C-alpha cells in the first residue's frame, strides 16, 4: 500500500485520539508500517486536539503528518485551524452538525452527519469517534474492514465493544455511500436536514 497520511482533528473529549490509535492498530493488523502521534491544547476537554496516523508499506522516516491525504474535522475550531488551507488533493471530511462554515471546495469534500448519527443510534455522542473512524477507514480504500473491527475490539473500553462495532459499521457504510456518490459525480453531502 502506498503511504497514506491521516489527520483527525476536533476538540478534547471527542475521542479522536482513541480513534487514531484504533486506525493505527488496524494498519498494524494489516501488516503495514504505522506511525501515530497526537497533541492537544492545554485544556484536556474543549481545546483543540489533533491526532496523526501514517500507514503504508514503506519505511516511515518521519512520524509526523506533513502532507495529509485525509483530514477529518469534528469541530468548527479544528476546521479553521487544520482544514481551511488544505490543498485540493487532500480529502476533507467534516461533521456537518459541528462544522457549518466551510470554504467551498470543488473536489475531495465530504460533509457527513457523524455526530448526529451517533446521537440518533445510541442516544449520545459518545461513539461519534468510532463512526468517524469507519468513515475515514472506508474512504481510504486500503485498510480491510476486518482489520478495523479487530482494532476496535482490541481498543474499545470494556463493556462498549458491541456499541463501538455497531458505530464502526455505521461509519463504514456512510463512507462507502459517500464514496459512491462522489465517484458518480453526485453531491457529496449526506444526511443534511
Q: Which residue has the higher pLDDT, 193 or 46?
A: 46
Give the pLDDT band of residue 44 (cuts 50, 70, 90).
low
Q: What is the pTM of this model?
A: 0.90
- Asked if residue 190 has pLDDT above 60, the reply is no
- CB distance 176 to 145 below 8 Å: no
pLDDT for 59 beyond 80: yes
| pLDDT top residue among 31 and 46 | 31
- Work out the pLDDT band at 84, boundaries 50, 70, 90: confident
What is the average pLDDT score of the chain? Answer: 89
- Range 4-183 classified under CATH 3.40.920.10: yes
Q: Is the pLDDT of residue 99 over 50?
A: yes
Summarize the confidence of residues 133-162 as an average pLDDT: 95
Q: For position 183, what pLDDT does the model report?
A: 64
Give φ, ψ of 178 to 5 degrees: -65, -40
Residue 37 Rama label (left phi>0; alpha psi -120 to 50; beta) = beta
Give exposure, 30-53, as e/b (b: 16+ Cβ within 10 Å). Answer: bebebbbeeebeeeeeeebbbbbb
Amino acid at each position: 500500500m502506498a503511504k497514506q497520511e491521516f489527520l483527525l482533528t476536533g476538540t478534547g473529549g471527542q475521542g479522536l485520539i482513541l480513534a487514531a490509535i484504533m486506525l493505527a492498530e488496524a494498519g498494524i493488523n494489516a501488516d503495514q508500517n504505522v506511525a501515530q502521534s497526537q497533541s492537544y491544547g492545554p485544556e484536556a476537554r474543549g481545546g483543540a486536539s489533533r491526532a496523526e496516523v501514517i500507514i503504508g508499506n514503506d519505511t516511515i522516516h518521519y512520524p509526523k503528518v506533513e502532507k495529509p491525504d485525509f483530514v477529518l474535522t469534528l469541530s468548527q475550531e479544528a476546521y479553521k485551524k487544520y482544514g481551511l488551507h488544505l490543498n485540493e488533493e487532500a480529502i476533507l471530511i467534516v461533521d456537518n452538525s459541528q462544522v457549518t462554515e466551510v470554504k467551498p471546495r470543488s473536489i475531495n469534500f465530504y460533509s457527513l452527519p457523524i455526530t448526529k448519527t451517533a446521537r440518533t443510534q445510541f442516544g449520545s455522542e459518545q461513539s461519534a469517534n468510532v463512526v468517524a473512524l469507519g468513515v475515514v477507514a472506508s474512504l481510504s480504500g486500503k485498510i480491510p474492514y476486518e482489520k478495523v473491527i479487530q482494532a476496535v475490539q482490541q481498543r474499545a473500553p470494556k463493556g462498549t465493544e458491541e456499541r463501538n462495532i455497531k458505530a464502526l459499521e455505521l461509519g463504514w457504510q456512510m463512507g462507502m455511500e459517500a464514496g459512491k456518490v462522489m465517484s458518480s459525480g453526485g453531491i457529496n453531502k449526506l444526511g443534511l436536514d
